[in-house]
């Protein structure tokens, strides 16, 4: 769900529709190579900054994403370099990554702010 404070509006849509070809979808689908290859073209990139890199390019060219470079240190996710459709580059670095932690379902409960309109898509 996305919250727009200026409109006091929340948009609700299915997770698959919301993630699309985004970096979050890339990470969520990472354990399933076939799912990744359905949405992204994957290719090895040269090692740099002490990391091994994989370039993921969305097969759907209509999105907001040109490509994502995924950096690994061994088997661990270490960095994402995101190039959006406007040519802007964002870099995210990860440390102390905990894979599959045990979290209560309540962590993922979202309650719309009081007075907000909920738009379902």
Q: What is the pLDDT of residues 30-55, one digit of tens each?
A: 666 787 788 889 999 999 999 999 99
Please indicate whether residue 52 or residue 120 has the higher confidence score (pLDDT).
Answer: 52
Please, what are the domains in the chain?
8-95 (2.50.20.10)
Which letter, b or e, does each residue of 15-51 get, where b requires 16 or more Cβ atoms within 10 Å of its Cβ? eeeebebbbebbeebeeeeeebeebbeeeeeeeeeeb
Q: What pLDDT was estimated at residue 90? A: 93
Q: What pLDDT was estimated at residue 4? A: 52
CB-CB contact of 110 with 100 (8 Å): no
CA nearest 81: which of 94, 72, 68? 68
Q: What is the pLDDT of residues 46-99, one digit of tens each?
A: 999 999 999 999 888 777 889 999 999 998 889 999 998 899 999 999 998 888
What stretches of 1-121 show up as alpha helix (H) in DSSP? 15-19, 23-28, 33-39
Please indicate whether residue 8 or residue 89 has the higher confidence score (pLDDT).
Answer: 89
CA distance 3 to 116: 9
């Amino acid at each position: 769900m996305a919250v727009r404070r200026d409109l006091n509006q929340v948009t609700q849509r299915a997770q698959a529709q919301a993630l699309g070809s985004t970096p979050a979808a890339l990470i969520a689908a990472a354990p399933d190579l076939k799912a990744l290859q359905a949405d992204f073209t994957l290719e090895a990139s040269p090692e740099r900054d002490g990391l091994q890199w994989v370039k993921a390019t969305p097969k759907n060219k209509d999105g907001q994403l040109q490509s994502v470079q995924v950096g690994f240190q061994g088997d661990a996710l270490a960095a994402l370099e995101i190039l959006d459709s406007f040519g802007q580059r964002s870099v995210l670095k990860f440390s102390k990554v905990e894979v599959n932690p045990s979290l209560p379902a309540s962590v993922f409960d979202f309650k719309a702010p009081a007075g907000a309109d909920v738009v379902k898509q």
